[in-house]
Chains A and B, each alone.
Chain A
Amino acid sequence: MEILGIVGSLRAGSYNRQLVELAADNLPDGVELAVWDGLRDLPAYDEDDDATTSFAVAGFRSAVAGADAVLVVTPEYNGSIPGSLKNALDWGSRPRDTAAFRGKPVAVIGASPGSFGGVWAHAETRKVLGLMGARVVEAELSLGKAAERLADPDEDLIGQVRAVINLLVTEASARAAAA
């Protein structure tokens, strides 16, 4: 089973990249997690180019389509979804009838230096994914105080990350069984 990780932060020392790497280091047997690294390369979404053959867009859609599930790991910018991540999701939502995210099991988690852990961004990302037709799993992990928590991840945090992955695996397995 393959999970695609999408990180909503581009900065080199991203806490959210550390969080997805923590997930990658604690996967169940038989599960792989590959982090997509094309966020910076996507052009701004343009409805006129829905059927684009742009290499960056096609690569993103193909990566989502090829994964059994998607783990979105994102910070919160100004109380909401980072623009670059929202841009990627907009590309991934089209063409509407064949969009790679339709029916795809997706979990949304993330981390922030503050206390709330990016909870607004995560709620809004779930809303967007729901409208796109994704199967958004009931997993919540908005990790506050990210610098301290990620510097030396404790068992509680690792357990929360594993629980999210397990939910994704359960949903993806159910989907594969029904196919």
Chain B
Amino acid sequence: MEALIRPEFGLTFWTITCFVLLVFVLSKTAWKPLMQAVEERERSIKHDLHSAETARAAAEKLKGELAAQLAALKAEIQRRLEEARLTAEKETDLLIEEARRSAGVIVESARKEIEAQKTEAARELRNKVADLAVLAAERILLKQLDHRANTDLAARYLAELEKERPDLKLGTN
């Protein structure tokens, strides 16, 4: 069994030769291109990451700007609406006031008209009544005209009148 652990120093020499050679050759032919490729990729990944970060930041900024614009627009719309509402209200008030005033004017003129008409009608009525009364009285008087009685009556009236108004007395002065 000692053959298992009896070192063959010639093989050690081979091993060292082989291995050292491998280290130098592989460092040039294998590991260098591999590491170059890896570093290239790492660099490009870093670059991509960086540009993605930049793009994201730009997008974020744009989004913020748009949001601000939107908010400003909303505020503007709100303001305009409020303004329009106020104007409309004012206009409505004005119109109502105007209507009320013109209605008042119309009512007033109508009342005046009615008053005038009423006065006119009353006057006409009175004239007509007076006419009618006079005519009727005339008829009655014509019918009841009795000379004697009337003469008496006239004498009595005259006496009464003379008594009341002595200045009008006939024949005594």
Partners in one complex: no
